[in-house]
C-alpha cells in the first residue's frame, strides 16, 4: 500500500501590504495618465486648431485619453520588470538616456503592433472579395 502524503502550502496574506502596494500603483498610474493626457490633449488641440483653419472638423480627445492610459500602463509594466536599470550605478545622464531608449523601443513596438492591427481590419483599395 502506497502512502499518499498531502503537501500543503500555507501562505499568510498580508492585506495591509497588498493595499499599500495597490494604492501606490494606482497613484503612479493616475499621475502618469494625467501627465500624458495633458500632453496628448495639447497635441490634439493643436491639430484641431490647424485643421480648423482649413475648415476640417477634428475632435478626438477620447483617443488621446486612451493613448495616455495605455502609455502609462506600459511604463508601469516596464518599471515593474526593471527595464533600463542596467546602468543605475553610473552618472545620472547615462541611466536616464538608457531608460529613455528602452522605453522608446517598447512604445515603438507597441505602436507598430497597434497600427498593424488597425490596418489588418481595413479593406485595401482595389481589393475584391
Asked if 70 and 32 sit in the same domain, the reply is yes
Q: Which helix (H) or strand (E) holds 105?
A: helix 93-120
pLDDT of residue 127: 55
Domains held by the chain: number: 2
**Cα–Cα distance, 14 to 16 (Å, whole number):** 6
Higher pLDDT, 14 or 125: 14
Asked if 67 and 100 sit in the same domain, the reply is no
**Cα–Cα distance, 84 to 101 (Å, whole number):** 8
Do the domain assignments include residue 93?
Answer: yes
- Ramachandran quadrant class, 82 (left: phi over 0; alpha: psi -120 to 50; beta: rest): left
pLDDT of residue 23: 94
Q: Is the per-residue pLDDT at 28 higher than 70? A: yes
Do the domain assignments include residue 124?
Answer: no
Question: Which residue is it, cell 509594466?
Answer: 77
Average pLDDT for 88-102? 92
Average pLDDT for 16-26? 91
- Residue 128: pLDDT band with limits 50, 70, 90: low
Domain that holds residue 106: 85-115
Q: What letter would DSSP give residue 129?
A: -
Do the domain assignments include residue 1?
Answer: no
Do the domain assignments include residue 43?
Answer: yes
Amino acid at each position: 500500500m502506497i502512502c499518499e502524503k498531502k503537501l500543503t502550502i500555507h501562505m499568510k496574506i498580508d492585506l495591509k501590504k497588498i493595499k499599500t502596494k495597490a494604492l501606490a500603483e494606482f497613484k503612479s498610474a493616475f499621475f502618469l495618465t494625467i501627465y500624458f493626457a495633458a500632453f496628448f490633449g495639447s497635441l490634439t488641440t493643436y491639430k484641431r486648431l490647424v485643421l480648423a483653419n482649413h475648415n476640417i472638423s477634428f475632435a478626438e480627445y477620447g483617443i488621446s485619453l486612451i493613448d495616455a492610459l495605455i502609455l502609462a500602463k506600459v511604463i508601469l509594466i516596464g518599471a515593474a520588470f526593471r527595464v533600463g536599470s542596467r546602468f543605475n550605478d553610473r552618472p545620472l545622464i547615462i541611466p536616464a538616456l538608457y531608460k529613455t531608449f528602452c522605453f522608446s523601443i517598447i512604445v515603438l513596438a507597441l505602436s507598430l503592433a497597434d497600427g498593424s492591427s488597425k490596418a489588418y481590419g481595413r479593406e485595401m483599395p482595389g481589393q475584391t472579395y
